[in-house]
Amino acid sequence: MKKQITKVLLAFTILLLLAGQTHAQNEVAGTILYHLRNNKPIAAVTVKLYDTNDTLVETAETDFNGSYEFTGVDEGTYYIEASTTAMPGGINMADAQKVRHHINGNRTLDEIEQMAADVAEPFGEINWDDYDAIVAWFMDGVPFTSDSWVFQVIENIQVGNPMYKARTNVPTMGGSSAGDVNGTFVPTTRNAKELLVNYTKKAVSSNFSIEVSANDIPAAAAMGLVIKYPAGKVNISDITSPLGEIKYNIRNGEIRISWISESSYEQMVSSGMPVVIINGTTTSQYDGSDIRFTIDPESHFSDREGNEIETRFSLPLLSGSAQYLGASYPNPANGITTIDYIVPSTGHVNISIYSITGQLVNVLVNETMPAGAQYVRFNTNGMEKGVYFYTLSVEGSDRVNESRRMIIAQ
């Protein structure tokens, strides 16, 4: 009797094990990467697993490494969709440039690039509406009619053998912020970056120009600049670029500038040539303090392939303490000598040379002049060797009285 009970229990246990194996559930796991790049996982993505009847089976969320996992999956065929509420980013003129080349047939965007580029209705085709939409986003912040993010859909996922528990590894899924065609956004850092900017002091004048230069890049095919300035102190009158025709918007102390080379080739960029010249005037609210134009980290250049190029910017700091009268050169002088000076506003300008005892030696300039940077050259031949002083006097809405020393070495 005891042996029979043991046999019954053993058989019952085997049946339970077989039943458990029959209903064994599987794991489905995968990773989501930004533009399928291994160094750019996308965290906090909602991943949904559907069966062939479009029934939602399970929901997961990617971790910091972009990984997700479903743990209770029966045998069958499935597909996966993804979405996120994270802030998008990385959209700039380099993306518009890549779309332009794609439309013109200069290059073909890959699958994820095309998904990112398709931001304007009608969807399903990359055209000039998409190009215009990306430019409008960068210049004016006009939102896309598409979703903020795009993800591939992974289909025909086969979850298999019900006799034992198995792990199904799904092909890596790619995603992108809509509009970020070249994939520059870094989801884990919110696209934060620092720019190297060099400032040189320049005297404030009622009419001024800010020349923005880009160093270290020999050529570029597209540019997007975002420049902040103290709107209460200055008015912007005009913006030009030696690179060619630009678009710009001025609003609430921010200037947005865009340029794309008309051809598929790059434009030469010289470190001695400004990429942008901003002309403006001071307002009645200007208090004599320094005026700084700040280059925002959104600013960028790109090459002909739409890849961003790192650069160092340089531009003047308009300083109320800077001098309008520059140093003479060469100094000591022997022959032709040059003096640089700035006229802050239209007025009567006088530049004179005096001996060390205060005797007037020569008048170099004595006329009404417009605002701007100027220079005067003169010949020191015939002047006695020694120390002299030269002065700058401007009579106008801005008054200037400055003097500097020069040495004559004949």
pLDDT in tens, 343-383: 888 899 999 999 988 899 999 999 999 888 889 999 999 89
Scored b (16 or more CB within 10 A) or e, 128-154 reads eebbebbbbbbbeeeebebebbbbbeb
Q: Looking at 138, 170, 191, which one is the last position of a domain?
A: 191
325 in a domain, yes or no? Answer: no
Work out how many domains the chain is built from and give that number. Answer: 3
Token match 């489905």: residue? 28
For residue range 246-271, what is the model confidence (pLDDT) as tens digits? 999 999 999 999 999 877 678 888 77
Residue 41 to residue 86: CA distance in whole angstroms = 13
Residues 290 and 252 in one domain: yes
- The answer for residues whose C-beta is within 8 angstroms of residue 74's C-beta and 6 or more apart is 23, 25, 26, 159, 162
406 touches 388 (CB < 8 A) = yes
Residue 16 to residue 26: CA distance in whole angstroms = 19
Q: What is the pTM for the complete model shown? A: 0.75
Residue 179 to residue 134: CA distance in whole angstroms = 6
Residues 21 and 63 in one domain: yes
In this predicted structure, what is the pLDDT of residue 359?
92
Residues 40 and 97 in one domain: yes
366 touches 389 (CB < 8 A) = no
Backbone φ and ψ for 130, nearest 5 degrees, come out as -65, -45
Residues 315 and 403 in one domain: no
Residues 186 and 202 in one domain: no
379 in a domain, yes or no? Answer: yes
36 in a domain, yes or no? Answer: yes
86 touches 44 (CB < 8 A) = yes
3-class secondary-structure state, position 113 = helix
For residue range 152-198, what is the model confidence (pLDDT) as tens digits? 999 999 998 656 668 899 999 999 999 999 999 987 654 456 778 98
Token match 């939602």: residue? 56
Residue 255 to residue 223: CA distance in whole angstroms = 13
Structural domain range at position 350:
336-408
